[in-house]
Amino acid sequence: MVYHITDECIACGQCQPECPVDCITEGDIYNIDQEACIGCGNCGDVCPTGAAIPME
Ligand code: SF4
Ligand code: SF4
């Protein structure tokens, strides 16, 4: 399942180095490239605010 980042993101950057396909880009809110995400869940596991979650 593809992940995305909600507006709960505080731009802490913890998710980015955990992504095995390097599909997270930084910004005021971080962004996941949904074409590249393989749904491993690493970003969600490390996110302190619960912002990185599977798409509905
Ligand atoms: Fe990267 Fe995995 Fe998060 Fe997708 S679910 S953005 S592949 S860390
Ligand atoms: Fe945003 Fe969570 Fe990633 Fe931190 S770990 S940049 S709060 S999505």
Indicate whether 36 pLDDT > 90: yes
User: Model-level pTM greater than 0.85?
Assistant: yes
Say what the pLDDT of residue 33 is: 98
Res. 56: pLDDT tops 90: no
> Atom 3 of ligand 2 has which residue's CA nearest to it?
15
Q: Which ligand is nearest to the CA of 19?
A: 1
- For residue 32 the two structure tokens come to 């996941």
Long-range contacts, stretch 27-31, CB < 8 angstroms, 24+ apart? 29/5, 30/5, 31/5
Pick the atom of ligand 2 nearest to 46's CA. 5
Q: What are the pLDDT digits (tens) for 20-34?
A: 999 999 999 999 999
Report helix, strand and coil shares of the chain as percent, to nearest 5.
Answer: 15, 20, 70
Identify the residue with better confidence: 20 or 56.
20
